[in-house]
Structure 1
Amino acid sequence: MKAGDFDGLFTAGSDPAVWAGHPAKERYKPEIFRQYFDAQMASKSTLVFIERETGKLIGCSRYYVAPDQPQAVAIGFTFLNNAYWGGTTNFEIKRLMLDHAFESVDDVWFHIDPTNIRSQKATAKLGAVHAYDAVLDISGSPVNWMCFRLTRHAWANVRSAHRR
């Protein structure tokens, strides 16, 4: 991610439906998206998603160390333009991120808003299981999160099934 990605990412996230399941439901507004973008830039670990055919930015995600699982890696702060929901895009993005993460850790965690059913289902398709709920300060204030754990073994099984 670089500073020049703001306009493309804002365009990708400008539909209110993109943020309906996220804790900050008004990120489609420029001033609120700016705060999100600046935080992702500051993390220095955000990856942008680019549509191959057009070069258009369609979303982003990042790795982070979660306060409840400091020995593992977490993936989050993800959004994907809703034109890419329901297909293979999210799986392919997460495949790249997870394959990289599992080179150095045994578990990957996902922290999901309890109202974000779409993300819960997408994360379960990756092989992650709901381990527990916790109040955590991941993005600036303590809120309730559903904590999903994906083991290296479970991911290997999902990857194997997708190769067939």
Structure 2
Amino acid sequence: MELGMPENALNFQPVLTGEMLLLRPLKADDYDGLYAAGSDPAVWAGHSAKERYKPEIFRQYFDAQMASKSTLVFVDRVTGKLIGCSRYYVAPDQPEAVSIGFTFLNNSYWGGVTNIEIKRLMLDHAFKSVDDVWFHIDPTDIRSQKATAKLGAVHAYDAVLDISGSLVNWMCFRLTREAWVRVKSNHGAPRRA
């Protein structure tokens, strides 16, 4: 359990099943499948870690996600392939809320309903236990900023935080349960095209 969260607040490694995807806890033997999903440089082009497609850099990322004990992999239910991952965490400046981040999605799944289903599953699970979900986004990652805003999250402030082992500048986006309910009611459940 992450620091700051009440004892029975949130299961950080649930199994979440959607129409197109299965989200499940990351396992040590997921490395090859997850690396295959993240080995294209285009996956990281808009990200601050632009060289994460390289095996030695991806290995560091994978090991950090394993150590967190809060990472979920995304499994395409049709193909059985791993297509990315994300994780829950508690940020040092928001100890009573949960954050979602350290996310990547294979670029062949961009621009459609996949990201919405991932976020719907993860947010619906989180909002059973907390009132606010936070996203910490690199100021240069415009793609993630736009995607997060589409969820109903609002840029609340900027901060220098140690979320992953060093102090980094973050744009901090807050999504309230009420805003998420409004977004879901306006857009409905995502469907496979």
Specify the TM-score bucket, using the shorter chain as the normaliser.
Answer: over 0.9
Aligned to 1:36: 61
Q: 1:56 aligns with which of 81, 84, 105?
A: 81
CA deviation after TM superposition for structure 1 residue 163, in Å: 1.9
**How many angstroms apart in 2 are the aligned matches of 1:52 and 1:152?**
28
**How many angstroms apart in 2 are the aligned matches of 1:96 and 1:70?**
22
**How many angstroms apart in 1 are the aligned matches of 2:162 and 2:63?**
18
Task: In structure 2, give the amino acid aligned to 1:146.
Answer: M
Aligned to 1:123: 148
TM-score (normalised: structure 1): 0.97
Q: 1:25 aligns with which of 50, 54, 73?
A: 50
Q: 1:11 aligns with which of 10, 29, 36?
A: 36
Q: How does 1:145-156 map to 2 (within 5 A)?
A: 145-156=170-181
Number of aligned residues: 164
User: Which deviates further from its counterpart, 54-63 or 11-20?
Assistant: 11-20
Give me the CA root mean square deviation. Answer: 0.9
Segments of 5+ residues of structure 2 without an aligned counterpart are 1-25
Aligned to 2:182: 157
**How many angstroms apart in 2 are the aligned matches of 1:162 and 1:135?**
34
1:35-66 residue CA offsets vs partner (Å, 9 max, x unmatched):
10011001111000011111000000000000
Aligned to 2:123: 98
CA deviation after TM superposition for structure 1 residue 22, in Å: 2.4
Aligned to 1:113: 138
**How many angstroms apart in 2 are the aligned matches of 1:123 and 1:57?**
22
TM-score (normalised: structure 2): 0.83
